[in-house]
Chain A
Amino acid sequence: DTEVTQTPKHLVMGMTNKKSLKCEQHMGHRAMYWYKQKAKKPPELMFVYSYEKLSINESVPSRFSPECPNSSLLNLHLHALQPEDSALYLCASSQLLVAGRNTIYFGEGSWLTVV
């Protein structure tokens, strides 16, 4: 099973709203990732959690706040977003430093529209 589950699939929010994107994996992976993908572009890395600790933040604005409650769950809290933040948000997971098993697996994504 190589499944990463994301909810919701679609989200429309106003610029003053607070919402969250959720991600879950049960593959025992110890790294989880958030990517942002704009139309016709490759995904861009936002955050990496390694062993439930934030290990990489690619200079993402503070209106995006990640959280890793446990090794299977990853959230992305959204507040005061701008219309240009509208995009597909992809969650991913992988093993860490395990020879031959470091492939990154992606979820189906959450389509976010900021109005």
Chain B
Amino acid sequence: GNSVTQMEGPVTLSEEAFLTINCTYTATGYPSLFWYVQYPGEGLQLLLKATKADDKGSNKGFEATYRKETTSFHLEKGSVQVSDSAVYFCALREIKAAGNKLTFGGGTRVLVKP
């Protein structure tokens, strides 16, 4: 079956530091890949996505590139802010007629200190 593995947190950084969260996946076929972010006390927000190999998703200064050869989709941001403190989930999606199914990684908690 499909699976997603992401680095365990918490990751603690100072403001303006560089952030990388590793994500690797196992899947049959060619899934689409996503990063969702969950701020404290809130639901999940789509951060970025990539639907095919070598696609780069980007949003709010975050980037991730779909690397088929290494089955990875690592999330990066060059200069984090306190407001980026959240839990980040990597996910892959299977498209089915019965409904799209997301497989999530375990989540990585990021804490940015001033």
Chain B residues touching A, majority SS = strand
Give the docked Cα–Cα distance between A56 and B98 (Å): 7
Question: Which residues of A sit under 8 angstroms from B46, Cβ to Cβ?
Answer: 2, 103-106
Q: Are A102 and B100 in contact (CB under 8 A)?
A: yes
Count chain B residues whose beta carbon lies closer than 8 angstroms to a beta carbon of A: 24
Q: With an 8 A cutoff between CB atoms, is B49 at the interface?
A: yes
Give the docked Cα–Cα distance between A42 and B107 (Å): 6
Question: Which residues of B sit under 8 angstroms from A88, Cβ to Cβ?
Answer: 43
Q: With an 8 A cutoff between CB atoms, is B45 at the interface?
A: yes
Q: With an 8 A cutoff between CB atoms, is B66 at the interface?
A: no
Question: Which residues of B sit under 8 angstroms from A48, Cβ to Cβ?
Answer: 98-99, 101
Give the docked Cα–Cα distance between A103 and B31 (Å): 12
Question: Which residues of A sit under 8 angstroms from B102, Cβ to Cβ?
Answer: 43, 45, 104
Give the docked Cα–Cα distance between A6 and B44 (Å): 13
Of B45, B100, B101, B107, the most chain A CB neighbours within 10 A belong to B100
Which residues of A are in contact with B by a Cβ distance under 8 Å?
Answer: 2, 6, 31, 33, 40-43, 45, 48-50, 55-56, 88, 90, 94, 96-97, 100, 102-109
